[in-house]
Amino acid sequence: MAGRSARVRRSLFTAHPARTVVLAFAAVIALGTALLALPVAAEDGMATGMVTALFTSTSAVCVTGLAVVDTGTYWSGFGEGVILALIQVGGFGIMTMASLLALLVSGKLRLRMQLTAQAETKSLDIGDVRRVLLGVAGTTLIVELAVGAVLSLRFRFGYGNSIGDAVYLGYFHAVSAFNNAGFGLHADSLTRYADDPWVTLPVAVAVILGGLGFPVLLELLRHRNRRRTTGRRNWTLHTKLTLATTVVLLAVGTLLTCLLEWTNSGTLGPHDWPEKLLNGFFHSTMTRTAGFNSLDIGAMHASTLLMTCMLMFVGGGSAGTAGGIKVTTFAVLAVAIIAEVRGEPNSAVLGRKLGPHVLRQALTVALLGVGLVMTATLALLSTTSLPFEQVLFEVVSAFATVGLSTGITADLPATGQLILTLLMFIGRLGPVTLVSALALRERKRRYDLPEERPVIG
């Protein structure tokens, strides 16, 4: 009887991995909420309200970075430790589960273990779960240690912090950056370091690496070693699309930020041109779902906010710590549009044809994302009298798990904060679990229906 029950549990586990990951993340968020609500978690020793605790826990686990209270002053050392642990668990869990379910979808996972993950790529070529776990853990540890060391040295010798404070500041921001969380210990995020490349550039590098996704990082490392022996470099289509689209979006974001904000006295205006380029690049990088800011978001022009919303909605790479609809989804849709405009029967990119199911999945994720953002924006506008562009910016930031804010999050009523809490949870897990479900439910039709073409446009 016990063996039969175990088999039933395993069957349910592997049959519904998307449901499992949702329940797992919900459980971690509930635990984080309970810990943050304790009096010991607050600096003043008073119990934190349930809405504030829930919002902060969800933002940390979903590696978003939106906050209704200042992290560095409101929370005690215990509270900050809980937030850091939730960020690490959320980021590590996302990367691990993304990689595991990618193996499941691609049919390369044979071990009977908990399949609690998402699937947005079939580019992995890993033999077992143990190697996935070790690879994700090793990548996370190396990047966080390296970036944390650079930041700690800068805080110690560049700003005169004590050794303990410098190490704490350095590694807190390193963990937050690699996991694309955006939580900082300063009320002004990183604006005080706007002209310091020794702080902003390491943070930007950690954000980019975390946002690329573990499959891409693993392939880059593997093919780097292979090129030393064979002299050849053969990347998968997923890696090529992710890298190319990431570079293009970073460049476009940097260019537009500089052009739109170059003379704005509240943002880039007071800086010299090298610092303007640095901060333009940093802002473009943070739109990849990181959440740190070196410029005052609330002082930006409406055109810059709209551009930022578009970049945030796209997000970063699949099976990584970034959110949004993902750069591969954006690239696939762009390729499909170009093929349709040219009148080509199939969508192809970099010498590879894209299957119809890939196009349908990309379109489904993108349109459902648009629908979710519009619905949440309408709901928030009905609960507050804040300007439309600020509300839309906050909604996109929550959906794409970015964490950038115009400063209105704390001013929202409890209902509005709960809407953003739900949006962060759905935005983090919704697209990936949806793709998992779609991929695992693929089936071939045994017959074709008569074809008819409705009028389009």
Query: Each residue's pLDDT tens digit in the chain (457 positions)?
Result: 555 554 544 444 444 566 677 788 888 999 999 999 999 999 999 999 999 999 999 999 999 989 999 988 999 999 999 999 999 888 877 666 655 555 555 554 443 333 333 332 333 444 455 666 777 788 888 999 999 999 999 999 999 999 999 999 999 999 999 999 989 899 888 999 999 999 999 999 999 998 888 778 878 877 665 555 555 567 888 888 999 999 999 999 999 999 999 999 999 999 999 999 999 999 999 998 888 999 999 999 999 999 999 999 999 887 777 888 999 999 999 998 998 888 887 787 877 888 887 888 888 889 989 999 999 999 999 988 899 999 999 999 999 999 999 989 988 999 999 999 999 998 887 666 666 655 555 556 676 767 777 877 6
Q: How many domains is the chain partitioned into structurally?
A: 1
Q: Quick one: pLDDT at residue 115?
A: 38
* Per-residue buried b or exposed e for 409-433, using 16+ beta carbons within 10 Å of the residue's own CB: beebeeebbbbbbebbbbbbbbbbb
Distances (CA, A) of 318 to 54, 246, 324, 432: 27, 12, 10, 9
Query: Cβ(75)–Cβ(41) under 8 Å?
Result: yes
Residue 449 lies in a domain: no
Query: Could you tell me the two tokens for 65?
Result: 């970075």
Tell me the C-alpha distance between 239 and 125, whole Å.
13
Whether residue 412 contacts residue 420, with contact meaning beta carbons closer than 8 Å, is answered with yes
Model pLDDT, residue 233? 60
Q: What is the predicted pLDDT for the residue at 101?
A: 55
Report which DSSP code applies to 42.
Answer: B
At 85 the three-state DSSP class reads: helix
Written as one letter, the residue type at 304 is T
Maximum separation of any 2 CA atoms in the chain, in Å:
74
195, 304 contact by CB (below 8 A): no
Determine if the pTM surpasses 0.75.
yes
Range of the domain at 388: 10-121+128-440
Q: Please state the three-class secondary structure of 303-354 as a single string.
A: HHHHHHHHHHHHCCCCCCCCCCCCHHHHHHHHHHHHHHHHCCCCCEECCEEC
In this predicted structure, what is the pLDDT of residue 100? 57
* 216 part of a folded domain: yes
Whether residue 270 lies inside any domain: the answer is yes
What counts of helices (H) and strands (E) characterise the chain? 16, 2
Query: Is there a domain that residue 210 lies in?
Result: yes
Given this model, what pLDDT does residue 125 score? 42
Q: Is residue 80 part of a domain?
A: yes
- 456 is a domain residue: no
- Answer whether residue 136 is part of any domain: yes
Please give the structure tokens belonging to residue 292: 């740190």
User: Does residue 452 belong to any structural domain of this protein?
Assistant: no
